[in-house]
Amino acid sequence: MSAHPDRSESTMTTIRISMPMLLVLVAASAPAPPVTAAEDVADVGPLIVTATRRAEPLLDHAGSLTRLTNEELRVLGATHHSESMNRVPGTYIQRGSGQESLTAIRSPVLTGPGSCGAFLFLENGIPVRPTGFCNVNDLFEVNSEQAEAIEIVRGPGSALYGSSAVHGTVNVLMPIPSQMPRVGVSGEGGPDDYFRTRLSTSHTGSSTDIGLLGHWTHDGGWRDDSGFEEAKLNAGLTHRADDGQLELMLAATNLNQETAGFIQGFEAYKDPELAESNLNPEAFRDAHSGRLTAHWQAPIGTGTQFDLRAVARTSRMEFLQHFLLGKPLEKNGQDSAAVLLSIDRALAGDTRLTMGIDAETSRSTLLEIQDGPTTGGSPAANAIRPAGRHYDYSVNAWSAAAYGQLEWPFAARWRLTAGLRAEYVHYDYDNHMIAGNTDENGVPCPFGGCLFNRPADRADEFTNLAPKLALGWSFTENQRLYMSLAAGFRPPELTELYRLQRQQSVADLDSEQIRSVELGLRGRFDQWSYSLSGFALDKRNVIFRDANGFNVSDGRTSHVGIEYEFHWSPVPVWRLSAAGTVARHQYEFTRSVEAGEQITDGNDVDTSPHNLHAIRLAWMPVDRLGTELEWLSVGEYFVDAANLNRYSGHELVNLRLRWSVTDSWWLTARANNLLDEAYADRADFAFGNYRYFPGRARTLFVEIGYSLQ
């Protein structure tokens, strides 16, 4: 495909039919096994907890949610969370350098300061970071590698979740001590000096259980001057009283990474030498985080459950912004605490009412400083980027929310869910430098002033409502049709409000708002289960940086598509699974934006593949041996807002094997990119050049472990 295809080619969504896709179509066209009398309503598949903060059957959920189980995660042995999450329909995680990533859930792959604000990342139902202070790499602060399960909700969250539950929610569920082995240890090796060791231990008592798990990873890096060392630790205590249960959990992470930047040139990722090169050997990222959580649940009266969760969080990160002229250093951090209280009450006729309040307080800081003068651009571009501090501020924030959600089975096989959330957020911004767009000493820059503009001290507040209404109909005991109307929101991120440029001294931004409608069908038979959904989202007040360098919130985008997921096991030793999305994400406004790009109403949002598909074939010939062959397909997408340049997409094949040598010893082997495909994890077009994070060539990882239950 040419580097500059005709614009009209993007006006139709297509699906490329290949051998794996043909396999799916043939399987889907096979006659469905009849529902037998032996099936009953209890046979409804896995239990989920994210949707309602309590365990409920997936079949009862009126929305799109996928649960990655502990068994799946053990077979995957993911070295990066993209390897697990890209199995989920509507989800696409682009891996950056090391442990970095960019996320798409029913959305384009979003970039920039507020991109992570579109997704809510949870650990055991509690947000990983406070409102307004996120990072696109939030997921490397969670131990997804040793999770008990990962649940991904697609679309706006329920009334139980607020800020950032816009396009989707990721809830990483860590094991409690009773789910950990008494002793577990493993060692894993791979190319380029990769080594990972995992440890776990637990003790179960009559009323109190304790457990500890963690891992340490060293990666020498497959690209020049890259690699990382990472450590994650989780400790838990469960205490059972006569009328309730208390869970205490500690989570800590540390990352020291040498970062590799983009390579440049059309299809540069196809050149092995360029793919392994690193134009930014000086780049790095150091980050650490800690969270202490408490969860108390107990009955209060008949049919009423009390649930209290509290968390204290801290995080610090330092990284070189090698992608900017002058390569300034950023240091940021947050200390925060939150309390989440809810009451779940059973009413007459299996009706349930959930009510709750959430409260949060935080202090966030950001410092951007440049060691020396800028030399990498034109004289004008260099002159407006002085050495010294660019930004130095702190923000004290607090938020409060109240919500209610009613589940009402108003007739046989019919269920209505209605919820409403009201949330208030307040920011107190304190600038620790001279306000305006001078250098740190108050000296103006030539060419109209320095690039970096610091607002004077100020306060901002945002109030948002998020309703949800869903209707479900179980037309058989194991088949369910549902329709959902929902809304989501996010207040502006702190960096969007207070990290301004050029002549903008105040950013008058509104909260981003999204409206969603979804129609879905979910069910299961003797040998297979399925889920199919169609969705349409309208997102308003989209925040972006315009051609003047101003942060504004008058953008609009639309998102429509179809998602599917099914599992078929014709005989016990074979299992075929498939998941995929056909979607279109478009701009609904026309505007010139930063770096001279032109957004046109009706264009595709850049980095939004129309097609994402995954097929897995599992073979378990004997009890102790399992294999999985996986095919992943990423469709082509535009790499610029003007829709003039494309990435052609790619297909990958992965092979995994897990062998339980004895009841205690096990071995896994994973061949990623089995066919040695040349591809890009991320493709972009900026400053007149194609830019890529190249994908890795074929790799083999082998892990041996011991586990005593």
> How many C-beta neighbours within 10 Å does residue 274 have?
16
> What contacts 9, CB < 8 A, 6 or more positions away?
none
User: Cα-Cα-Cα-Cα dihedral of 656, 662, 663, 667, to 10°?
Assistant: -30
Domain-embedded: residue 389: no
Is 90 exceeded by the pLDDT of residue 637? yes
User: Regarding beta strands 126-127 and 149-154, do their DSSP bridges make them parallel or antiparallel, or are they unpaired?
Assistant: unpaired
Give the mean pLDDT of 225-235.
Answer: 97
Give the predicted TM-score (pTM) of the model.
Answer: 0.92
Going by C-beta distance under 8 Å and a sequence separation of 6 or more, which residues neighbour residue 309? 124, 125, 126, 293, 294, 295, 296, 339, 340, 341
Residue 27, domain member (yes or no): no
656 in any annotated domain: yes
Task: Indicate whether 160 belongs to any domain.
Answer: yes
Using 50, 70 and 90 to split pLDDT, how confident is the model at 45?
A: low
- The answer to which of 43-52, 236-245, 271-280, 589-598 has the lowest mean pLDDT is 43-52
- Which position has the higher pLDDT, 117 or 452? 452
pLDDT, tens only, 63-86: 999 999 998 999 899 999 999 999
CATH number assigned to the domain comprising residue 227: 2.40.170.20
Length of the chain: 709
Q: Which of 13-17, 98-102, 610-614, 647-651 has the lowest mean pLDDT?
A: 13-17
Residue 594 pLDDT level (bands cut at 50, 70, 90): confident
Asked whether residue 316 carries a pLDDT value surpassing 90, the answer given is yes
CA dihedral (243, 173, 309, 419) positive or negative: negative
* Total tally of structural domains belonging to the chain: 1
pLDDT of residue 547: 86
Could you tell me whether strands 329-346 and 591-592 are parallel, antiparallel, or unpaired per DSSP bridges?
Answer: unpaired
pLDDT of residue 113: 62
- CB atoms < 10 A from the CB of 669, how many? 16
- Residue 622 belongs to some domain of the structure: yes
Domain limits at 469?
Answer: 43-383+397-448+465-708
Tell me 6's DSSP state.
-
* Mean pLDDT value across the chain: 91
The average pLDDT across 287-311 equals 95
CA distance 258 to 280: 10
Residue 5 has a pLDDT of: 38
Say what the pLDDT of residue 622 is: 84
What is the three-class DSSP state of 648? coil
> Can you give 51-65 as a three-state secondary structure string?
CCCCCEEHHHCCCEE
Report which DSSP code applies to 380: H
Measured at the alpha carbon of residue 542, what is the angle toward residues 120 and 368, in degrees to the nearest 5? 70
What is residue 23's predicted lDDT score, i.e. its pLDDT?
37
Domain presence at residue 522 = yes
Q: Confirm if 91 and 168 have CB atoms less than 8 A apart.
A: yes
Q: What is the pLDDT of residue 39?
A: 33
428-444: average pLDDT: 96
Q: pLDDT tens digits for 6-41?
A: 433 333 333 343 434 333 333 333 333 333 323 333
Position 281 pLDDT exceeds 90? yes
* Rounded Cα–Cα distance for residues 618 and 629 (Å): 6
**DSSP, residue by residue, 540-551:** EEEEEEBTTS-E
DSSP string, 215-262: EEEEE--SSTT-EEEEEEEEEEEEEE-SS-EEEEEEEEEEEEEEPP--
Q: Is residue 614 part of a domain?
A: yes
| pLDDT at position 262 over 80 | yes
Residue 136 to residue 128: CA distance in whole angstroms: 12
With pLDDT > 90 as the criterion, what percentage of the chain qualifies?
83
The more confidently predicted of residues 35 and 496 is: 496
Compute how many other C-beta atoms are within 10 angstroms of the C-beta atom of residue 208: 13
The burial of 552, by beta-carbon neighbours within 10 Å (0-12 exposed, 13-18 middle, 19 or more buried), is given as buried
* Per-residue pLDDT at 114: 66
d(CA 402, CA 539) in angstroms, rounded, equals 23
Residue 276 placed within a domain: yes
Give 156's DSSP letter. S
Read off the pLDDT of each residue in 507-524 and give the average, rounded to a whole number. 96
